[in-house]
Amino acid sequence: MFIILGYLVVLAGVFASFIGVGGHLGALYQPFEFVLIGGCALGAYIGGSNGASIKLLLEAIPKAIKPNPYGKSLYMELLGLLYTLLNKARRDGLMSIESDIEDPKASATFAQFPQIQKDPKLMEFLTDYLRIMISGNMNPFEIETLMDQEIEALHSEHNTPVNAVRGVADSLPAFGIVAAVLGVVHALAAVDQPPAILADLIAKAMVGTFLGILLSYGFAAPFAAAVERQSVAAVKVLECIKVTLLASMNGYPPPLAVEFGRKVLFSSVRPSFSELEAHVRQTKSQAAGR
């Protein structure tokens, strides 16, 4: 949402200033400049990508436009779910949660936390490591190493479209110069024309440089930043799970284990100690009621 607002502010600032100094918007309408710059940028991106990276970019576009799904309410649900599972495992043994993690969609425990169920990556990460904990064949240090490696791999995957778009953003000013040079070449070929015509051709050529810089710093670079924020948020939620599960494996009781998870969150989405404590009590009373 904010990225669309930012784009509108960029366009308003540029075009309002141009009109304010007496410019005419028609002079900036050069469709073939868009074709040249856009075609070069698209071709360069395709040439440096593969099917997987293109798919990741297509998946990242709607995520960059939508609000960040990893907000405070989701983390409250996540910490509540972790507390419920760990408390059940501590009370009745790890095997008591096996049926929950083997079929989360049919689990009454997971049904209490719909936001978590809607995120397949989060669910896969959580249930996989709970299965490993149940197996009992790995110690906390081994599981932590495995978690770190998986999180690093996912972070690298999420950053693939970020790096690709930043590469395109860096190249757009150069493609704008290419468009301007070709426009100047065209203008010089008409040097025998009257000054008014020659000036018009040169002005059209300069639009290429303008478009390249505007598209780079006004559109492509902010889009890459928006995708990167989503990537960081998607990794942070996994780190919250990791810290909480490891705290439990190291012997900390569920209320303290979820406190470990709370501490790794960004301040903008981190519930306070009292908020988490009240939420844990509520979750505990709901579980007791069932």
Tens digits of residue pLDDT in 29-43: 888 888 889 899 999
d(CA 88, CA 94): 8
**Mean local confidence (pLDDT), 50-76:** 86
Residues 6+ apart with CB under 8 A from 162: 60, 224, 227, 228, 231
Residue 156 lies in a domain: yes
d(CA 267, CA 139): 31
Nearest Cα residue to 109 out of 237, 117, 279: 117
Residue 83 lies in a domain: yes
What is the residue-averaged pLDDT of the chain?
87
Residue 67 lies in a domain: yes
Number of domains in the chain: 1
Residue 124 lies in a domain: yes
Residue 170 lies in a domain: yes
From the centroid of its chain, how far is CA 23?
38
Which pLDDT tens digit goes with each residue over 120-152?
889 999 999 999 888 877 788 999 999 999 999
Amino acid at 124: E
Residue 86 lies in a domain: yes
Residue 287 DSSP SS3: helix
For residue 118, give its domain range. Answer: 31-289
d(CA 233, CA 53): 20
Residues 6+ apart with CB under 8 A from 107: 99, 100, 101
Which pLDDT tens digit goes with each residue over 242-270?
999 999 999 899 889 999 999 999 988 89
Name the CA radius of gyration of the chain, rounded: 27
Tokens at residue 70, please? 């990893």
H-state helical runs in the chain: 2-20, 31-47, 51-65, 72-92, 98-102, 108-111, 114-117, 120-135, 140-188, 195-215, 221-249, 254-263, 273-289
pLDDT score recorded for residue 288: 57
Residue 88 lies in a domain: yes
Which pLDDT tens digit goes with each residue over 1-27?
688 889 899 989 988 888 888 878 877
DSSP 150-168: HHHHHHHHHHHHHHHHHHH
pTM: 0.83
pLDDT score recorded for residue 28: 80
Cβ–Cβ < 8 Å for 74, 240: no
Residues 6+ apart with CB under 8 A from 255: 83, 277, 280
Residue 23 lies in a domain: no
Long-range Cβ contact pairs of 42-51 (< 8 A, separation 24 or more): 44/167, 44/168, 44/171, 45/164, 45/167, 45/168, 48/164, 48/167, 49/164
Cβ–Cβ < 8 Å for 128, 242: no
